[in-house]
Structure 1
Amino acid sequence: MKNNMDVELINIQKKFGPNIVVDNFNLQIEQGECVSFLGPSGCGKTTTLNMIAGFLEPDQGDLIIKGKRMNGVPSNKRDLGMVFQTYSLFPHMTIFENVAYGLKLRKVSKEDILKRVSKVLELVKLPNVADRYPKQLSGGQRQRIAIARALVTEPTLLLLDEPLSNLDAKLREELRDEMKRLQQEIGVTTIFVTHDQEEALYLSNRIVVLDHGKVEQIGKPWDIYNRPASEFVHTFIGKSNRMTGIVAQVQKQGLSLKSDAGFSLTAMHRDQVFTEGEQVSIYVRPEKINLCIQEQEAIGTNVVKGVVKLTSFLGAYTECEVEIGHVSVTVRIQSAQQQLSHGQTVFLEWKPEDVFVFPGKGNTR
């Protein structure tokens, strides 16, 4: 194992009865990294986090933290900090007592406790709440205190189990910013469990995408979004338009496709092998489509005529639903660009490199 690796999971497997909920999980996490486990409910992300935390034991494989095998080691011997969905603060204790609790268990001196609690409350930007009780704080403040309590013991590893899920949208955004600042400032190795793709993209150095207990892809946020390893990853991360069709021709420069809606388009090769006549699923993200009012403005490789059916103003951008034959395509444009009306004829264009092609239903790869 490399010296700069804080965590290593080797062929980890976990079963609940006959069901395999985590299957052959392999991962290395470098010191100071923030890695997110991302996937739908039931994909195995929280189960994996609980194995790292010591709340569950893997049925197979090795779990290594700081070069030491942790299989069978109790949770309180793993030098971890953990923040849950619920704040889990003691209501009868002051904020100071809540944050200091882990230090008291470790028999840290009163002088050091005072210094460390004061320091971490400054860090989470709540230096003046030490004498208050949890019920006197807002939801966002309580979650910051939960993070402070996890950080005050200076853990080797910080585990976050959907800590923002119980907050409203504005608070989530604010606390997400704070968490990123804290992680960069402190540099503690962090594992973040979430089903919110935006949080994962925003906070992570790398993302592990899981589905039905299996790792679909591990990569940097940019790669997960722009170079998905599977159709599941592409559809789970971000929004995308799906069309069906066949491969009309396979050429060196790319694929010529014929959509079931009746129009042709081209796509670049992505280390995939397709055969002519093969049924495929075709994806283009809304923000990758250029909408033009005049046909002569559409000068790209893939140009299709359509009719505006619906527009939705969303502040900085507007989403337009454009009908192409019997297919509806969502296009995202800057709101300041142009005003569109129902029934208006428009022209859509997108680049071959922005088209993702996967084997269609019935094809097994």
Structure 2
Amino acid sequence: MILVSKMIDVELKGVQKKFGSNVVVENFNLQVEQGECVSFLGPSGCGKTTTLNMIAGFLEPDQGELIIKGKKMNGVPSNKRELGMVFQTYSLFPHMTVFENVAYGLKLRKTPKTEIQERVKKVLELVKLPHVSDRYPKQLSGGQRQRIAIARALVTEPSLLLLDEPLSNLDAKLREELRDELKRLQQEIGVTTIFVTHDQEEAMYLSNRIVVLDHGKVEQIGSPWDIYNLPASEFVHTFIGKSNRLNGTVISASERDGIVLRTNEGLALRASFKGRTFQSGEAVSIYVRPEKIAFSTGTGGGLQAEGRNEAQGRIGQISFLGSYAESEVLLGNTVIHVRMPSDSQNRIWTAGDTVNLQWKPEDVFVFPGKGNEAHG
């Protein structure tokens, strides 16, 4: 069998950007394959939009190489990069109709009128808005305006689509609908896409791979599954999803037997070995996600002979959140969040009940250092 590697559409080699003495992007290395959707994810100020603007040609890197379709783009103007861009704000021309807005880029390229008609019609059908071509932006809803902004970016048939938080100005329901549309469009057209967001759920839903950034540095690059289940650092684990934290100390650690821990509350726990080396007596932060914990019929005595982890606590409150219910369980002064599907079984538990919790060693993550407080 012959393995055919995909073409690399975008490559960043040691890219760096400073504003004054502040390093905003540091030693950024990435390859984006043809047809892939890659998200830049991180908190405000992490460098994701700055990196996108360098790819777009709005900013120049201070160091490193930026390559698109095999061609070095350092110093090449934005309008020579054959890319489409969708911004957080719709950036539609208010005095132009929808048709004129979408056709604008084609007119700048002196595309023949008949071809403009055909391509605008085709792309409006693609975003399911062929009936609004004669309307003005002010006559459209927020979701329709963003669809038109996407259509305008796609009509020039770019080799690369850049999306800068395009859903952040929409309400929750509309965001979900347009997120579905974006995924459908990206897969249908097959255009290489780079998506900037601070919303982890959007990144997980839309991306083939996610680049997690913090303070200008790449913390991890991986599939949504890897980012969530195999975090490379404590920052990645705590930024993606929700997690319970306990502070504690390593009792023993080995690749064969795993890691035995004691929390500051005196609870003995076990974690599977995940490649990190720890020393006996080392202070650590211990994490387990709410959905990995279940109510059990055990004794709640900590580390059990079978290797599972158990603890006993009291339910503080239960919150119903649609598809799941989340319980806050008090272990002394520490709150542990437990998330389970909201089926009929959960109705037997009420606030004030004493419960036993159980979770597997492989669902425990251990990181060096000691935090100041437990949080979910």
Task: Evaluate the alpha carbon distance shift between residue 3 and residue 219 of structure 1 in structure 2; reply closer, same or farther with a 3 A threshold.
Answer: closer
**Shift, 1:300, TM fit:** 6.6
- Report the equivalent of 2:374: none
Task: Supply the AA of the counterpart residue of 2:323.
Answer: A
Q: Deviations over 1:294-316 (max 9, x none)?
A: 33799871011111011111111
8 Å Cα contact 1:291-1:333 kept in structure 2: no
Q: Within 5 A, what are the aligned runs for 1:176-215?
A: 176-215=179-218
Task: Supply the AA of the counterpart residue of 1:338.
Answer: N
Q: Within 5 A, what are the aligned runs for 1:247-262?
A: 247-251=250-254, 252-262=256-266
Question: Hey, what's the Cα distance between the residues in 1 that align with 2:209 and 2:31?
Answer: 11
8 Å Cα contact 2:248-2:370 kept in structure 1: no
Q: Does 1:330 align with 2:333?
A: no
Residue 146 of structure 1 is aligned with which of 122, 144, 149? 149
**Shift, 1:3, TM fit:** 6.6
Deviates more, 1:295-304 or 1:95-104: 295-304
Question: Hey, what's the Cα distance between the residues in 2 that align with 1:253 and 1:102?
Answer: 62
Residue 324 of structure 2 is aligned with which of 291, 313, 317? 317
Q: Within 5 A, what are the aligned runs for 1:97-112?
A: 97-112=100-115
**Shift, 1:326, TM fit:** 2.1
8 Å Cα contact 1:81-1:158 kept in structure 2: yes
Task: Supply the AA of the counterpart residue of 1:247.
Answer: V
Question: Hey, what's the Cα distance between the residues in 2 that align with 1:261 and 1:84?
Answer: 48
Task: Evaluate the alpha carbon distance shift between residue 286 and residue 77 of structure 1 in structure 2; reply closer, same or farther with a 3 A threshold.
Answer: same
- Report the equivalent of 1:241: 244
**Shift, 1:361, TM fit:** 3.2
Q: Deviations over 1:303-353 (max 9, x none)?
A: 111110111111111110001122110000111132221110111111111
8 Å Cα contact 2:83-2:162 kept in structure 1: yes
SS where residue 130 of structure 2 aligns? coil
Residue 291 of structure 1 is aligned with which of 276, 291, 295? 295
**Shift, 1:249, TM fit:** 1.3
8 Å Cα contact 2:6-2:34 kept in structure 1: no
Q: Does 1:264 align with 2:263?
A: no
SS where residue 132 of structure 2 aligns? coil
SS where residue 121 of structure 2 aligns? helix
SS where residue 338 of structure 1 aligns? helix
Q: Within 5 A, what are the aligned runs for 1:43-82?
A: 43-82=46-85
Task: Supply the AA of the counterpart residue of 2:332.
Answer: G
Q: Does 1:224 align with 2:227?
A: yes
- Report the equivalent of 1:118: 121
SS where residue 76 of structure 1 aligns? helix
TM score, norm. by length of structure 1: 0.97
Question: Hey, what's the Cα distance between the residues in 2 that align with 1:147 and 1:250?
Answer: 52
Residue 5 of structure 1 is aligned with which of 8, 14, 25? 8
Q: Does 1:349 align with 2:335?
A: no
Q: CA RMSD in A?
A: 1.4
Question: Hey, what's the Cα distance between the residues in 1 that align with 2:178 and 2:199?
Answer: 14
Deviates more, 1:334-343 or 1:68-77: 334-343
Q: Does 1:92 align with 2:95?
A: yes
- Report the equivalent of 1:172: 175
How many equivalent residue pairs?
Answer: 360
Question: Hey, what's the Cα distance between the residues in 2 that align with 1:333 and 1:38?
Answer: 27
**Shift, 1:101, TM fit:** 0.3
Question: Hey, what's the Cα distance between the residues in 2 that align with 1:300 and 1:169?
Answer: 42
Question: Hey, what's the Cα distance between the residues in 2 that align with 1:66 and 1:109?
Answer: 26
Structure 1 runs, 4 residues or longer, greater than 2 Å off = 294-300
TM score, norm. by length of structure 2: 0.94
**Shift, 1:287, TM fit:** 0.4
- Report the equivalent of 1:301: 308
Name stretches of at least 5 consecutive residues in structure 1 with no aligned partner.
none
8 Å Cα contact 2:307-2:361 kept in structure 1: no
Question: Hey, what's the Cα distance between the residues in 2 that align with 1:87 and 1:286?
Answer: 37
Residue 156 of structure 1 is aligned with which of 156, 159, 162? 159
SS where residue 332 of structure 1 aligns? strand
